[in-house]
Structure 1
Amino acid sequence: MADLFVALPPVTEYNAVIFGKNSNRPASEIQDVIYCPAKDYTAGEKVKCTYVEIDQVTRTHAVILSKPSWMWGAEMGANDQGVAVGNAPVWTKLNGPNDLELKLLGTDIVRLSLERASTAREALEVITQLLASPGQGGPCTNEAGKDGWCFHNSFLMADGTEAWLLETAGTFWVAEKITEGVRNCSNELSIRTKMDLTSPGLVEEAKKLGLYSEDMGDFDFKATFCAQSQIANFPDNNTSFRYRHGKEVMDKIISTGKFRYQDMFKILRDEEGGICMMDGGFITAGSQVSVLLPKSSSSSNVHWFTGTPNPATSIYKPFFFGPGASIGNVTVSPTCEDGAEPKERGHALYQGHKKLCKLMDTQEEKGHCILAQLMELEKNCCEDVDEIIVNYDESSFPKLKQIFQHMATMEINFYV
């Protein structure tokens, strides 16, 4: 489950492209934030994804990823080329038992696209090649009793110039180019007739499947492939409340001023509209906001991650790519070499945040006091980052290369 958002010039502060995602996952999962430096490979090497091996490329970009600790792939992330990518589960008329065949998870595809692409458009090309072969499929959780949970995927990718929304139904896909304003997507198909790119022969293939005929009017991707269960559950123009609410909030923000990355923080913390999930079997396990500037900019992109569940009780911590960048290990869950379950599930930041959540339940006043102090820490950090964006030069970076780790460690100290 997920909600993704993007805002582009001319409605944004700094003329940036601002990307945001909430990763809503089974409540038992823990989400790590990891950093992988760029790396060279020799011809013929393979990369082991969650379930399958595929050919490796000769060089992968440096990436920062927010990922369920048990899988290879990532829910969302960014690379040192200024690209951010995230996925969202979707259900279509083509879902079936074959979706459990072990192929690439949507999360694997997110990570591969970030490791291999230098622009949002290149990320789209990487993804569509992977959809063709080996394709998407496999159980999407390792939670006991949920091994039949699988789906198709939507992908939102952005750089400092543009964004692309790619939606899939099995091997079929359609893409919408976004060059200005705001766009969001949730766990449903949302591209209708505005199709800038499609999989080969899409309309003819839909006809062969009996899903479309010309007497139905213009080809509409959502109407053609959307799962019947979603059509029944979404009576208002076949869209969910969460999707409509997200769109309304973004439209309201840009009607009164420039869209700021702090606005994206606020959207991802929206519990009333269901964007921030903390009840039931699924929770918001991690959140990301990326500020992407054109390659011609003299400033630096900045990527914010919570690394903890529930952005309403978490703080965003910034990361900058550059020589010697590091995030440490406070957001990396422990593992055992023999594959056994570690004594402590979850990384140090997760364990600390869990203490805060318990405190807010048992000693509400004390818990909310700590949360208020954390939010003040985030506010002060945002003010510093705003100054960095405006006045950035390469001499600034030595102070920034471990800022994520520094902020995460400060956060942990509040929980001791």
Structure 2
Amino acid sequence: MFYSNSFLIADPYSAYVLETAGPFWAYKHIDSFYAISNVLTLGTDFDQIHPDAQAFAYQKSWMKEGVPFDFQRAFSEPIMTFLGKGLSRKHQCELQAPALDSQKFSIQDAFGILRSHRIKENFEPCQGDMGNICLHAQGLLTPSQTTGSMVVELRGKANSSVWLTGSSAPCLSVFKPFYFGTNILNDDVFPQASKRMDHSYWWQWEKIHRKALNDYRALHAKIQLFQQENENSWLEEDQILSQSMEMKKREELSQNAVDACLRLVKALEQQKGKRKFNIRSFAYFLYWKWQNRVMKHEGN
């Protein structure tokens, strides 16, 4: 599952998509909504390309000379692209984006896209596959998991904000505001997570994620209510602080958000869930039982 990668590079005034294939690359300037999902997306519409990329692709017979050079077609690996289902995730992102000329795309819209699943009603993690934006690992055909999510609001003449979950499965996580120049993301508040369960924020929240494997809908409902109440409150405060020069208040907002989430972890740990089985979920539970054993073995 090795692959080269794509990047969205932006400041408050301009944005670019850069895509790589080994030492080769292509990029273009973008001025509207754009999505990348572990798949090459630039075809013939790049602004600039590595000077040797075309000659290399012609030498390998990946492209025929005399036709417009297609970076995506030349450097994509068909089987891995199909199994990874990145184009499906990209398409879902684009379907959920509001009208591009409305200029109404919000932080909440970004949160919602990152939390989305293809099954809209009565979703269960065992129904997930690689085509989901919020990705739940479940075995051989879906070995990957969304382990952390980020949304950034870049402001030209005000303080930018960085919204991080710091935990896996954004549908079961909470976005918290952080700021450049503050010192909240330090080893005391966010120690680096190890391979086994420890006291890091990621592992504290992972206990809830793995508990939700038994009773997703009940825990998701409680977390979703917390998301709606607290994220909206933090967003309102963030808008006010974006115009403020008081670094201390931004640090307090970040710290209060982290503390509130850790209190939720403690409360959810005390609740009992109901394990629900069917043929598909049974395989899912076996997969995660194995993951827990591997985690303990690696920790020892």
> Same-fold call, TM > 0.5?
yes
Return the match for 2:14 from 148, 162, 176: 162
Is 1:282 equivalent to 2:144 in the alignment? Answer: yes
Point out which structure has higher relative CO (alpha carbons under 8 A, 6+ apart): 1
Q: Provide the aligned C-alpha RMSD in A.
A: 2.8
Measure the CA separation in 2 of the matches of 1:385 and 1:198: 39
Q: Quick one: distance in 2 between partners of 1:380 and 1:240?
A: 34
Higher strand share: 1
1:274-305 residue CA offsets vs partner (Å, 9 max, x unmatched): 111124221111000001122xx1x1000000
In structure 2, the residue matched to 1:399 is 249
Identify if the C-alpha distance between structure 1 residues 309 and 203 changes in structure 2 by more than 3 Å, giving closer, same or farther.
same
State the shift of 1:228 in Å.
2.8
Q: Which of 315, 319, 326 is equivalent to 2:174?
A: 315
**Mapped pair 1:293 → 2:155:** yes
> Of residues 105, 109, 114 in structure 2, which corresponds to 1:259?
105
Match of 1:186 in 2: 37
CA distance in structure 2 between the partners assigned to 1:225 and 1:334 by the alignment: 35
The partner residue of 2:48 within 177, 194, 197 is: 197
- Is residue 38–residue 86 contact of structure 2 (8 Å, CA) maintained in 1? no
Corresponding residue pairs, total: 249
Q: Residues 169 and 366 of structure 1: is their aligned pair in 2 closer, same or farther, counting only changes over 3 Å?
A: closer
Q: Given the superposition, is the C-alpha separation of residues 371 and 244 from structure 1 closer, same or farther in structure 2, using an over 3 Å criterion? A: closer
Instruction: Tell me which amino acid in the other structure corresponds to 2:105.
Output: F
* CA–CA distance in structure 1, aligned partners of residues 218 and 113 of structure 2: 25
CA distance in 1, matches of 2:78, 2:193: 42
Q: How does 1:37-76 map to 2 (within 5 A)?
A: none
Q: 1:194 Cα deviation (Å)?
A: 1.5
Once the two structures are superposed, residues 222-263 of structure 1 have per-residue CA deviations (whole angstroms, 9 ceiling, x without a partner) of 1111113257679xxx9722221212222x354655111111
SS for the counterpart of 1:274 is coil
Q: TM-score, normalised by structure 1?
A: 0.54
Following the alignment from structure 1 to structure 2, what is the Cα–Cα distance between the partners of residues 399 and 405? 10
User: What is the percentage of aligned positions where both structures have the same residue?
Assistant: 26
CA distance in 2, matches of 1:367, 1:240: 27
**Which ranges in structure 1 are unaligned for 5 or more consecutive residues?**
1-148, 336-340
What one-letter code is carried by the residue in structure 1 that aligns with 2:37? S
Structure 1 distance, partners of 2:255, 2:12, is 25
Separation in structure 1 between the aligned mates of residue 152 and residue 184 of structure 2, nearest angstrom = 17
Q: Could you tell me which of 350, 362, 369 is aligned with 2:203? A: 350
Structure 2 gaps of 5+ residues are 119-130, 267-300
5 Å-filtered alignment, 1:116-155, equals 149-155=1-7
Structure that is richer in helix per residue: 2
The equivalent position to 1:375 in structure 2, one of 198, 204, 228, is: 228
Q: Structure 1 residues 211 and 374, CA, compared in 2 at 3 Å: closer, same or farther?
A: closer
Q: Match of 1:292, as an amino acid?
A: L
Contact 2:15 2:29 in 1 (8 A): yes
Aligned mates of 2:45, 2:216 — CA distance in 1: 52
